Amino acid sequence: MDPVRVGLLGYGFAGRTFHAPLIRAVNGLALSAVASGNPDRVKADIPDVSVYPTPDTLIAAEDIDCVVIATPNATHAPLAKAALAAGKHVVIDKPFTLDMNEARELIGMADSLRLMLSVFHNRRWDSDYLSVRQAIEADQIGRVVHFESGIERFRPVVQDRWRERGGPGAGLWFDLGPHLIDQALQLFGLPDRLFADLGTLRNGGRADDWFHVVLHYADRRVILRGSMLVAGGTPRFVVHGTEGSLVKRCADRQENQLRAGMIPGDAGWGEDLDDLLLFDGDGGNSSLPATAGDQRQFYRGVADTLRNAAPNPVRPIEALAVMSVIEAGFESARKGVAVGLPLNAEERASWR
């Protein structure tokens, strides 16, 4: 069977670091073209790929089956709409869109045209999350009552880039929030309501660079946290249950491996040497080897969907649910109260 011919829009951090190497490492996909204003950089990395000067010229190319959108957040919806209208399957880097109305329009358009629409929630295949998920599903700590998940970095100097300028789609809640939200929803489903506190704590900051969000469920609380001013000392996950607790100290290494130029699938790819710590409540503790991560699984799922009609690796309704938490988070932070998710009954039923 011929490979799916993929066109990548954008060759900035996301396109160059994640999408291009992961696509090229998956059987059944062929990275055929890239749209970039820096063709020399693209050609230096991928000499045999076609380079288009603009997204529109790539979208119009007849020899492209699937378009991957790795451009600034505000461009996701219009570029996806153009690609769908051109008869292309579409993958969008997270976050899905700027708001739920844009997301709903794209979902309806893809459905009416019978085209695949997926969102790059790649952190489902991180070693830290997979290790914690497997321990929970194996009933290692009983019923989970407290789940805490954080991605924190130390970047005290504000950079002059779109993610930090305060425009549409900027800020840490839009950047790191989708990763944490998607993982939590996959584990526990939709919360009843949430309370969010978003802050801009760095000198000269123009967009939120700190968040603390509590998802309320009937029998548990889920805390999502992110910051650009944490130099260390906080674990990636802390989970408490009715029969014990677990801690995952260090984060998945795949992003760092990709930054260092590792090819996905090389020896050591996705391996995690940081054991999962288990505490039994009687003063005892033990450790479990971490599960290896492999973000290629997302693009393997895309290839399987388009070649074999397999289920979409990230259903659009799942990405819409993530958007609902993002929107509710902004509303809660603005009002200073807990709020529900802006999903209708049909969307809630579809999510299940």
> What pLDDT score was predicted for residue 349?
95
The answer on pLDDT for 75 being more than 90 is yes
> What pLDDT score was predicted for residue 57?
97
Domain that holds residue 103: 4-120
Asked, as a colleague might, if the bond just before 191 is cis with ω within 30 of 0, I would say no
Q: What percent of the chain has pLDDT over 90?
A: 95
Nearest alpha-carbon partner for 214 in 324, 121, 339 = 339
> What pLDDT score was predicted for residue 1?
83
What's the length of the chain?
A: 352
For 18-71, what is each residue's pLDDT tens digit? Answer: 999 999 999 999 999 999 999 999 999 999 999 999 999 999 999 999 999 999
What is the separation, in whole angstroms, between the first and last Cα of the chain?
33
Average pLDDT for residues 299-308, to the nearest whole number?
Answer: 97
Name the domain boundary from 120, 150, 183. Answer: 120
For 214-250, what is each residue's pLDDT tens digit? Answer: 999 999 999 999 999 999 999 999 999 999 999 999 9
Please report whether residue 55 resides in a domain.
yes
pTM of the predicted model, to two decimals?
0.96
For 174-190, what is each residue's pLDDT tens digit? Answer: 999 999 999 999 999 99
CA distance 200 to 210: 6
The answer on pLDDT for 281 being more than 90 is no
Q: Are residues 132 and 273 in the same domain?
A: yes
Which CATH number goes with the domain that contains 33? 3.40.50.720
Q: What percent of the chain has pLDDT over 70?
A: 100
Please report whether residue 313 resides in a domain.
no
Give how many domains the chain has, as a whole number.
2
Query: Which one has a higher pLDDT value, 168 or 198?
Result: 198
Residue with tokens 């380079």: 51
> What pLDDT score was predicted for residue 126?
98
Q: Are residues 103 and 132 in the same domain?
A: no
User: Helix, strand, coil % (nearest 5) of the chain?
Assistant: 35, 25, 40
> What pLDDT score was predicted for residue 256?
96
The DSSP call for residue 64 is: -
Average pLDDT for residues 313-330, to the nearest whole number?
Answer: 98
283: confidence class by pLDDT, cuts 50, 70, 90: confident
Cα distances from 7 to residues 30, 116, 219, in angstroms, run 9, 15, 45
Please report whether residue 214 resides in a domain.
yes
The DSSP call for residue 207 is: S
Cα 132 to the center of its chain, rounded Å: 17
Q: Which residues contact 327 (CB under 8 A, 6 or more apart)?
A: 99, 100, 342
Please report whether residue 200 resides in a domain.
yes
Nearest alpha-carbon partner for 208 in 240, 165, 239, 250 = 165
Q: Are residues 227 and 244 in the same domain?
A: yes
> What pLDDT score was predicted for residue 219?
95
The answer on pLDDT for 166 being more than 90 is no
CA distance 195 to 229: 22
Q: Are residues 10 and 100 in the same domain?
A: yes
Q: 63 burial class (0-12, 13-18, 19+ CB within 10 angstroms)? A: exposed
Q: Are residues 28 and 111 in the same domain?
A: yes
Q: Average per-residue pLDDT in the chain? A: 96
Q: Are residues 260 and 149 in the same domain?
A: yes
The answer on pLDDT for 325 being more than 90 is yes
Output the six-digit token pair for 299. 């693009």
Output the six-digit token pair for 172. 């840490």
